[in-house]
Chains A and B, each alone.
Chain A
Amino acid sequence: MIKAENLSFSYRGDEGAAAALKKLNIDIAGGEFVAILGHNGSGKSTFAKQLNAILTPEEGRLTVFGIDTSDEGSVFELRKNVGMVFQNPDNQIVATVVEEDVAFGLENLGVPRDEMRRRVDEALKTVRMYDYRLHAPHLLSGGQKQRVAIAGILAMEPKCIVLDEPTAMLDPSGRAEVMETVRRLNREKGITIIHITHYMDEAVKADRCIVMDGGEVVMDGPPAEIFARVEELRALGLDVPQAAELMYELRKRGIDAPEGILRSAPCVEAIAKMYKDRGTANVR
């Protein structure tokens, strides 16, 4: 339940104000898995910071789970419900022991110790880091650190988790770990996920993609629909998933390739089927 109405925001510097968000209107329902795409400076991180009142609207309104983010009195209530995971896992881990870092948010909220113990263990089990609970965070891999950061948010039992390019500094296996965790949280716990990313193959896994450019929403819809608009995406400086790109190039050359294919497995099947239909060769 996130509703932005004519949300505007600008950063003020020495050279005047630079508009980062321009009359943004976004509606996100509870339990959705939304990917926000856009190149650098499109306003996507600024929008993320609005969601838990790290930044507040200059004009317009943003309500998150019924709380107006401009209302200073309920800022902690808001942050309890909207967790945030950042790009650099090193710069968001506070404590020197994994389980103490997971407990950090709960300690801030003044949760009693027994309850805290239960929630910390549960969060660590959910992200599959329970066996590492007594480790020092700096000895973990990037993917593991990021999962610890997610556990720290999860322990606060939020309704929504905002991830601001959480995989940008990770290796492929770390990215896979984080994405798997995030999807599971969405499916099993019904937590609303807002995933800001540069990686198109991650966006494909979302229920809905929002493409931002110059502080405005330029595209909004299911991934299959968005990634069919290859030319528009390229004009915005964005990539297209490889499978979708291949299908697009085939169609451009007059081959009857199906639309809406975003991943490699269905792509292989579609190509096999095309060969079969033409009867030219046996791909196997």
Chain B
Amino acid sequence: MLRDITLGQYYGVNSPLHRMDPRTKMLWVIYYMTLLFMASSVWEYALMTAFTALAVKASRVPIGFITRGLKPIAILMLLTVGLNLFMTPTGSELWRLGFLKITDDGVVIAAKMAVRLVLLIIGSSLLTLTTSPIVLTGGIERLLAPFARLGLPSHEIAMMMSIALRFIPTLMEETDKIIKAQTSRGADFESGGPIKRVKAMAPILVPLFVGAFRRADELAVAMECRCYRGGSGRTSLRRFAFGRDDLFALIWAVALLAAIITIKVVTR
């Protein structure tokens, strides 16, 4: 896929999840998170885990890409699990060291917490792994469009996001050039303590900002020259349509809800 840009974690393959409308996917993630926070019994967690595994399989994204997303939250996870493990006062005591004790309730709660966090991360990263940033931006614009009547500048938000995406590589290139230019003039970015290094950033940031404003000014004129006048009356080249894959997603959503309700009723 050439639509890919060097940003984000989009993994471009053709799968049912990739083919889904970005709006469906975004709504699905919100729905999935709600179900996850409503889950209470071990059975419900097992069901959600099984479903997530199925979705990962359907996305055709290598498992390594998905677990990579878990690394940044490793510390947060350790902290949550640790706190729940040692600080749960209820249940029968399993182990004790001074004021620290582990109860059977604590073990269960900590395990559920860990599973919930992992599923949360996997579920939301499936969205960004299967949707390119541009498509995502377009989807956000469409999704927010109904709120435009309430005064939410949905078109402007999407336009800002897509221009930011467009200019990230350009500004990265420019930063690289400025660093090289300043280094060749004898600027030192490598040595010294943290404060000295932060101070050394000024000769990079100042020209970068000046350049960014100049670019913004030129871009604004170029956009005006191409008859840009905000969101009203605009049409779009990209088609967003509810397809077969979106229908499947809807069926899955209903099925999952039905299964959860069944578990809740049976185990009550």
Q: Which residues of A contact B (CB under 8 A)?
A: 52, 54, 76, 79-80, 83-84, 86, 88, 90-97, 99-100, 103-113, 116-117, 120, 134-138, 152-153, 156
A108-B227, A113-B239, A156-B226 given; A94·B163 CB < 8 A: yes
| Per-position binary interface string of chain B over residues 104-126, scored 1 when its CB falls under 8 Å from any chain A CB and 0 otherwise | 00000000000000000000000
Give B203-231 as 1s and 0s: 1 = Cβ < 8 Å from A's Cβ atoms: 00000000000010011011111111100
Please provide the 6 A-B residue pairs with the shortest distance between their CB atoms, ordered closest to farther: A92-B222, A103-B237, A91-B218, A105-B226, A84-B225, A138-B169
Complex interface bits, B1-38 against A, C-beta within 8 A gives 1, otherwise 0: 01111000000000000000000000000000000000
Q: Are A91 and B225 in contact, with the CB atoms below 8 A?
A: no
**What's the Cα separation between A52 and B3 when bound, in Å?**
33
A97 and B226 alpha carbons, distance in the complex (Å) = 17
Please tell me the size bucket of the interface on B: 20 to 34
Minimum CB distance partner of A98 in chain B: B2
A-B contact pairs, 11 of them (CB 8 A): A79-B225, A86-B218, A91-B219, A94-B219, A94-B223, A94-B226, A95-B162, A96-B165, A109-B227, A135-B2, A136-B4
In the complex formed, the residue of B with least CB distance to A111 is B235
Of A83, A107, A138, which is within 8 A of B225 by CB? A83
Measured CB to CB, the residues of B under 8 A from A are: 2-5, 133-134, 162-163, 165-166, 169-170, 173, 215, 218-219, 221-229, 233-239
Contact check, A153 vs B162: say whether CB atoms are below 8 A apart: no
Chain B residues in 8 Å Cβ range of A108: 226-229, 234
Main secondary structure of the interface of A (DSSP, over half): helix
- A162–B65 Cα distance when bound, in Å, is 48
Whether the pair B170, A90 counts as a contact (CB closer than 8 A) is yes
Q: Is the CB of B218 within 8 A of A116?
A: no
- CB within 8 Å for A113 and B227 given contacts A86-B222, A93-B166: no
Q: Considering only CB atoms, which chain A residue lies closest to B239 in the complex?
A: A113
With a cutoff of 8 Å between Cβ atoms, the chain B residues found around residue A103 in the complex are: 237
